[in-house]
Amino acid sequence: MAVAASAGPVRVNAGEVSSGSVHGIPRQGSAPSGLCTASLDPDLVIQHANLEFSRQFGASSAEVCGLDFRELVHPSVKTSLMRQFARLLEGKRQLFDTHVVAVRPEEGAFVGSLTAAAVSDDAPQVSAVLIFMRSSEGNEDAGVLPARKKLLSDIDARILEGIAAGLSTIHLASRLYLSRQGVEYHVTGLLRKLRVPNRAALVSRAYSMGVLNVGTWPPKVVEDFVK
């Protein structure tokens, strides 16, 4: 078995994946407490998951297996995370570490770090992806909104995007065919809704709640939150 790298696969024994560390990846067979581990096929469908992974996402191991991992990823980070998985599956990198926000079946979200590594069985193609997730200490839920919660009207979403892009009230009014007073009215409503004192805090709060997509420019509100 080999772990895929941009310079070609690195050969390792099959047992190293389950019982030892491979290029800095935690042991899957003896995962530390609180570490979620899972094996995905090249289509990112979960094939195996440990008990902690199943516990975090409110299902038995049998119920978790067969789920598309993309369905667990919060919309705010999905685009950037899938881009990294694509590079992994294309053999352009061996592994990656990133911030992750995942959606639980009930209210709340899993917020933490994710490490993913591509694995190949004596072949150039990736045969599996190992993922390791650990929640950030004290940051579970962290004010992240579930994707199904409709928070903003369409005009509120466009104004939030414009503020995040650095547009002034005058530019927003011209772009959205509103008066300056109309823009300020909606901005005031957004400040109250997200419970922040000013525009800078509004943008920061929107990103932290998962309302704005991570890794996209110009800024874009996740459509799931638009009424």
Residue 163 has pLDDT above 90, yes or no: yes
Residue 148 has pLDDT above 70, yes or no: no
Distance between CA atoms of residues 60 and 55, nearest Å = 7
pLDDT at position 106, please?
62
Which helix H or strand E contains 132, and what residues bound it? strand 128-135
Residues 64-89: pLDDT tens digits? 888 899 988 888 788 889 999 999 99
Look at strands 109-120 and 128-135 and give their pairing.
Answer: antiparallel
Name the pLDDT band for 32 (thresholds 50, 70, 90).
low
pLDDT at position 149, please?
63
Distance between CA atoms of residues 144 and 74, nearest Å = 9
Q: Which residue has the tokens 């598309």?
A: 68
Distance between CA atoms of residues 57 and 109, nearest Å = 9
Q: How many other CB atoms are there within 10 angstroms of residue 182's CB atom?
A: 16
For the chain, the average pLDDT equals 79
For the chain, the C-alpha Rg in angstroms (whole number) is: 21
Name the pLDDT band for 10 (thresholds 50, 70, 90).
very low
Residue 21 has pLDDT above 50, yes or no: no
Tokens of 41: 């096929």
Distance between CA atoms of residues 33 and 130, nearest Å = 17
Average the pLDDT over 46-70 and give the result. Answer: 86
pLDDT at position 166, please?
92
pLDDT at position 112, please?
86
Q: How many residues in the chain?
A: 227
Residues 96-120: pLDDT tens digits? 999 888 877 665 678 889 999 999 8
Q: Which of 64-73, 131-140, 167-176, 212-221 has the highest mean pLDDT?
A: 167-176
Residue 166: helix, strand or coil by DSSP? coil
Angle at 192 between CA 188 and CA 197, to 5 degrees: 80
- pTM of the full structure: 0.60
Distance between CA atoms of residues 58 and 161, nearest Å = 34
Q: Which of 22-31, 78-87, 214-223 has the highest mean pLDDT?
A: 78-87
